[in-house]
Amino acid sequence: MLSRRSVLTGLALLPVVARAAESYAIEPEQIAEGIWMVRGADAPIQPDNGGAIANIAIVDTPAGTVLIDCGPSLRYGLALKRVAEGLTGKPVIRVYVTHLHPDHGFGLGAFDPTRAAALPGTIAAIEAQGQGFSDAMYRILGDWMRGTDLLLPRVALTAGQEDFGGRTLRLMALSGHSSADLALLDEQTGLLIAGDLVFHDRAPSTPTADLLAWCASLDRLAALDHGALLPGHGPLDPGGTAAIAQTRDWLAWLDATLTDAIAAGLDMVEAGMLPIPDRFAGLAAARYELQRSVSHFYPELEAQLLPRVDRPD
Amino acid sequence: MKAMVALLLALIAAPAQAAQDYPADPLGSPMWRAHAQILFGDDPVRFDARVKVEFPAIAEDQRAFPVAIDARGIPGVRRMLLFADLNPIPVALDYRPIHAAPYVATRIKLDQRTPVRGAVQLTDGQWLVSGGWIDAAGGGCSTPPVSRVKGDWADHLGEIRGRAWPQQNGARLRLGFRHPMDTGLVANIATYHLDHLAVKDSDGRLLAEMDMWASVAEDPALTLMPDAPAGGRLLVEARDTNGRDYVARIDVARQSPIPARP
């Protein structure tokens, strides 16, 4: 007969025994000749998605496999490497990190560090802010992050192009979503891999954004001769223009709305509860990102827009 | 003998009162009773959803988390407290809206996942409490203020920005101070924060006043709703823990603001 204590002990042990480490489902979808995307969840970074919210691109080149971004954790990076190399039958020879955010570049530990490349501004930003992002990721994701160290891409890129045995990727050094944002154009298919400069049916996030610079970068992407567009978050845009227009529309609305909210005397709480126009009804995480953006921009905007009142009359 | 009985009764009654049965905490906070004893003592307490404690769904910045307490649906509010149970400095504001609508909004620091609560006291002495849990990363109270890291806090100390707009009843006053609001929990920087603020009308009549603690975010921002007419003038007087005085004069606009666009 079981004693009460042994039953209790057994119950306490059960969850530990039953819980194996969770794994990422990496399911590439072909979006152009020799290019696959791994779709991220259109959601905030949460334990139920392991932080796998960013879109990743796998490019098959004659010289080897090229990855654009590598996911949120070591575990993701390892799974991505296995799936990508299985798909192309070639080793990964280049990993681009489009910008500093952890959902895009924290899988680097799975790859040869001398193959990891980013804009100099991105490398500097990861060096300065990466530890804070890493702490936040461990706090939110727990075991998903096990073994994930903060690593810097070793190759500093300049705008131009890289040739991989005949398949050429054009590199564009832009900014606005962060201080340095890399966008890539596959010359062979015209596919534009926009990183987080473009969101699609998912509200843009702004923790490191400069809205003016971001809009200028979107203008450059819109003027570029390209085909389909892979956004950093959200579904592929086959026409290549809708997602750019939608991102620009949201950013312009956000800017005007926050400015108006301050002119109307609203507090941050009230600004975060403002109605979101119907045309954004299809954007995932819209309320969440509006409230985050209020936090990112409001104090500084108030300091600009409210007059000084501490002078004697 | 009579006096002795009275004394005995008082001795018996005193501990019983201090340990009054506060209502069970709907948030299940480990600190509810401890805070209730300190803040409410023997006053009657109940939870009441008419005290609207509003804040965003996520704490994007644990150094500056916006919170509003709106008790405009409750008559006879004389005092409003904003506190976070698990903060090392739990109480942020103690506000008395004397001639003002019972509404206050500000930004606070969060040191960990915690209940954030508003408590309002009515003229009859009873307290109505409401609030909710918010998840937050650590360190809101124990990391240095941005202006300390940048080193420019003293260059901007005492700058006050603000505006006031008429609304249906009284005015809406928005204020922003530059102040490091040091918690004393960061190495070698002593506690230093705004600790008192008063809003007066042009005749010097006290409309509202509050005590503040260092759990209010750096560069404190406030929304208050004093009774002041369109075109009237408001005087704001504040003092910090070093005895430095702050004065601002704000004219209430003659026209109500353009509502923020949807």
Q: Which of A139, A269, A307 is opposite residue B67, by nearest beta carbon?
A: A269
Give the pLDDT of residue B53: 98
The pTM of this model reads 0.89
Tell me what the mean pLDDT of segment B252-261 comes to.
Answer: 78
Question: CB distance A263–B258 less than 8 Å?
Answer: yes
A205-214, A228-237, B152-161, B174-183: which range is least confident on average?
B152-161
Q: What residues 170-229 of chain B have any CB closer than 8 A to a CB of chain A?
A: 172, 174-176, 219, 221, 223
Tell me which of B223, B235, B250 to substitute to probe the interface with A (most A C-beta atoms closer than 10 Å). Answer: B223
Pairs from A252-256 (Cβ < 8 Å, separation ≥ 24): A252/A215, A253/A277, A253/A280, A254/A206, A254/A211, A254/A290, A254/A293, A255/A211, A256/B261
Q: How high is the pLDDT of residue B168?
A: 87
Does A254 contact B at CB distance below 8 Å? no
How many A/B residue pairs have CB atoms within 8 Å? 113
Enumerate residues 40 to 99 of chain A having a beta carbon within 8 A of any beta carbon in chain B.
Answer: 44
Nearest-Cα distance to chain A for B258, in Å, is 6
Question: Which residue from A minimizes the CA distance to B55?
Answer: A269
**Contact B174/A306, CB-based, under 8 Å?**
yes
Mutate to test the interface with A, among B52, B60, B107 (most CBs of A within 10 A): B60
Q: Can you tell me the mean pLDDT for B255-262?
A: 69
Q: Strand pairing partners for B198?
A: B209, B237
Q: Report the 10 Å Cβ neighbour count for A17.
A: 8
**Percent of chain B at pLDDT above 70?**
90
pLDDT one-digit tens code per residue, B84-125: 999 999 999 999 999 999 999 999 999 999 999 999 999 999
**CB within 8 Å: A260 and B163:** no
CB contact under 8 A, A306 and B161: yes
Q: Do B219 and A299 lie within an 8 Å CB cutoff?
A: yes
Give me the residue from A267, A308, A313 closest to B159, CB to CB: A308
Judge: A267–B219 Cβ closer than 8 Å, yes or no. Answer: no
> Domain B24-251 - what CATH class?
mainly beta
What is the pairing mode between strands B206-212 and B91-96?
antiparallel
pLDDT at B218: 95
> Model confidence over A268-310: pLDDT tens digits?
999 999 999 999 999 999 999 999 999 999 999 999 999 999 9
| Residue B137 pLDDT level (bands cut at 50, 70, 90) | confident
pLDDT band for position B14 (cuts 50, 70, 90)? very low
Is the CB of A312 less than 8 angstroms away from the CB of B249? yes
Give the residue-averaged pLDDT of A117-132: 96
Residue numbers in A near B249 (CB within 8 A): 309, 312-313
Has residue B144 got a pLDDT over 90?
no
The percentage of chain B sitting over the pLDDT mark of 90, rounded to a whole number, equals 78
Identify the pLDDT of residue B8. 46
In eight-state DSSP terms, residue A56 is E
So what's the pLDDT on residue B18?
52
Work out the average pLDDT over B12-32. 76
Q: How far is residue A129's CA from residue A153's CA, in Å, rounded to a whole number?
A: 14
Phi-psi category of B188—alpha, beta or left, where left has phi over 0 and alpha has psi -120 to 50? Answer: left
pLDDT above 70: residue A161: yes
Does the distance separating the beta carbons of B105 and A267 come in below 8 Å? Answer: yes
Structural domain boundaries of chain B? Answer: 24-251
pLDDT (0 to 100) of residue B262: 54
Within 10 Å of residue A56's Cβ, how many Cβ atoms? 27
- Which one is predicted more confidently, B120 or B11? B120
Please name the residue of chain A whose CA is at the shortest distance from the CA of residue B135: A140
Mean pLDDT of chain B: 90
Nearest to B262 among A275, A307, A313 (CB): A275
Q: At A22, is the pLDDT very low, low, confident or very high (cuts 50, 70, 90)?
A: confident
pLDDT at B166 over 80: yes
Query: Smallest Cα–Cα separation from B117: which of B175, B178, B47?
Result: B47
Report the alpha-carbon distance of residue A162 to residue A171 in Å, rounded: 7
H helical segments located in chain A? 4-18, 74-88, 102-105, 120-141, 211-223, 242-263, 268-272, 286-305
- Mean per-residue pLDDT, B30-43: 96
pLDDT band, very low/low/confident/very high, at A25 (cuts 50, 70, 90): very high
pLDDT greater than 50 at residue B11? no
Is the Cβ pair B223, A313 closer than 8 Å? no
Q: Is the pLDDT of residue A225 over 90?
A: yes
Q: Is B161 close to A263, i.e. CB distance below 8 A?
A: no
| pLDDT tens-place string over residues A71-114 | 999 999 999 999 999 999 999 999 999 999 999 999 999 999 99
Radius of gyration of chain B (CA): 20
pLDDT at A24: 97
pLDDT value of position A312? 57
* Band (A131; pLDDT cuts 50, 70, 90): very high
* A226 HSE (CA, 13 A, CB side): 26
pLDDT at B187: 77
Over range A57-61, report the average pLDDT.
98
Q: What is the distance in angstroms between the Cα of A73 and the nearest Cα belonging to chain B?
A: 19
Contact criterion met (CB < 8 Å) for A294 and B56: yes
The reply to whether residue A308 touches residue B160, judged by beta carbons under 8 angstroms, is yes
**B209: pLDDT strictly greater than 90:** yes
Q: What is the pLDDT of residue B9?
A: 46
Residue B173's SS3 state is strand
Q: Which CATH architecture has domain A22-239?
A: 4-Layer Sandwich (3.60)
Closest chain A residue to the Cα of B52, Cα to Cα: A269
Tokens at residue A283, please? 């954007």
Chain B residues within 8 A of A257 when measuring between CB atoms = 260-261
Could A291 and B60 be called an inter-chain contact, meaning their C-beta atoms sit closer than 8 Å? yes
Q: A275 and B105: CB-CB below 8 Å? A: no
A206 contacts in chain B (CB < 8 Å): none
Tell me the mean pLDDT in the region B128-141.
87
